[in-house]
Amino acid sequence: MTAPTSHTPRATAHVVDDDAGTPSFEASGGDWSDIAEEAARLGEERIVVNMGPQHPSTHGVLRLMLEIDGETVTEARAGIGYLHTGIEKNMEYRNWTQGVTFCTRMDYLAPLFQEAAYCLAIEKLLGITDDVPERATVIRVLMMELNRIASHTVCLATGGNELGATTIMTTGFTAREEILKVFELITGLRMNHAYIRPGGVAQDIPPGAIDSIREALTNLRHWFRQLEDLMLANPILQARMKDVGTLSLAACTALGITGPVLRSTGLPYDVRKASPYCGYETYDFDVPVNDGADSWSRLLLRIEECYQSMRIIEQTLDRLAAMPAGDVMVHDKKIAWPAQLAIGTDGMGNSLGHIREIMGESMEALIHHFKLVTEGFRVPAGQVFQSVEHPRGELGVHLVSDGGTKPYRAHFRDPSFNNLQAVSMMCEGGQVADVVVAVASLDPVLGGVDR
């Protein structure tokens, strides 16, 4: 047996009997002498299995290391980092507006929340929070609540699929398709939109969008009624989810866990109510809670949260219909992104009128466009923290500016990262089959965890 050339600080080993009953050692990491010593000390059988890193049952490339005794999980550890993109570090080398294109790709199921939190933080540093046009703020709320429904729908759909209920998955993804069509209509993209920009949004909603969204809401309610019929009265689903993945209020507060997992313990904490942003204090909606503290309670909560989001969306549509068309970006041309986007036959891009002006009529406009796009605007030195209510909990962004055109530091408090701390508490002592249910009820997205 040849020793490895590299040494890791921790050696692990366990004894396994082969088919003939002959004991053998399986080891990984560390120095062989350390492994042999630990193996001799153990003197008993330990079975350690990997669940992941792979996609279907782990909501992304999450690795779970499970020590099992028969079908019982005796130890559970989460291994992350398999989807690391270096987004936060990359943002230090791009101007403030370009950072939107990075952060939207973190939690790829809820991109608009990262865009909103990041831009709200920049606007705080710039001191222009109150200068953002009301129409842009209402559109931000509209897009975030649509995104909340889309994200929760993926959670419900994949959770059903992981338990073997394929019909739940196909119904859920059909419902989500209604929202993705709206996103494509408004932003030009189904995901990773870079639509919310510092100072407002990239462009106004196109003509006919309000009617299209109202139609989408009608279709969504139809599909959600089907989901409720498939899930809520299903005795097999209830048996698999009730009293599984239990996490108490004390455990949630100790681990910093928020969102539906926290609200399933009975605490109605929601950033939209606790620290309102984007005018959420002016909307009429409730914060659903449940006191079951298990996977079933979280399923019920997410369904109810989708209906509450529909209430908010209807209010935003009424406001947009009542207000005249106007600006969706701050007036300060030193900050406002100069592009005037339009959706044409070849997709979304600069409007022809804007191109004619900067290329053929105004040298000053061309110079300003060039400098603002290549260099970006300067943000006063300082630091700020901004949080929003993400589908998975409280999403926070900490921005530090040194007075330049790029962030000195951009750090995100992703709720999936915090929520994954609960894996061991939720899974240890339960069955292997229940691990999938418990992880699905956390609804982690590893793009946000690793970022």
Give the domains, in start order, of the chain with CATH numbers: 1-45 (no CATH), 87-335+377-412+433-450 (1.10.645.10)
Q: Are 320 and 326 in contact (CB under 8 A)?
A: no
Largest CA distance in the chain: 86
* C-alpha to C-alpha distance for 338 and 105, rounded to whole angstroms: 23
pLDDT at position 343 is 61
User: According to DSSP H, which parts of 127-269 are helical?
Assistant: 134-162, 166-187, 209-231, 235-241, 249-255, 260-263
Residue 19 is predicted with a pLDDT of: 55
**Is the CB of residue 406 less than 8 Å from the CB of residue 428?**
no
Quick one: CA dihedral 337, 342, 343, 347, positive or negative? Answer: negative
pLDDT confidence of residue 370 = 81
pLDDT of residue 89: 93
Closest of 40, 39, 56, 57 to residue 48, by C-alpha: 39
pLDDT tens digit at each of 451 positions of the chain? 333 333 334 444 455 555 555 555 454 545 555 655 665 676 556 677 888 776 554 566 888 888 888 888 888 888 888 888 889 999 999 999 999 999 999 989 999 999 999 999 999 999 999 999 999 999 999 999 999 999 999 999 988 888 888 899 999 999 999 999 999 999 988 999 999 999 999 888 988 999 999 999 999 999 999 999 999 988 888 999 999 989 999 999 999 999 999 999 999 999 999 999 999 999 999 999 999 999 999 999 999 999 999 999 999 999 999 998 888 889 888 888 766 666 666 666 667 777 777 777 778 777 877 888 888 889 999 999 999 999 999 999 999 999 999 999 999 999 999 999 999 899 888 888 888 899 989 989 888 888 8
Spell out the alpha helix ranges (H) of 256-294.
260-263, 271-274
d(CA 336, CA 66): 51
- Between CA 430 and CA 448 the distance in angstroms is 27
Q: Establish whether the linkage from the previous residue to 206 is cis, with ω within 30° of 0.
A: no
Q: What are phi and psi of 201, to 5 degrees?
A: -130, 165
User: What pTM, to 2 d.p., does this model score?
Assistant: 0.85
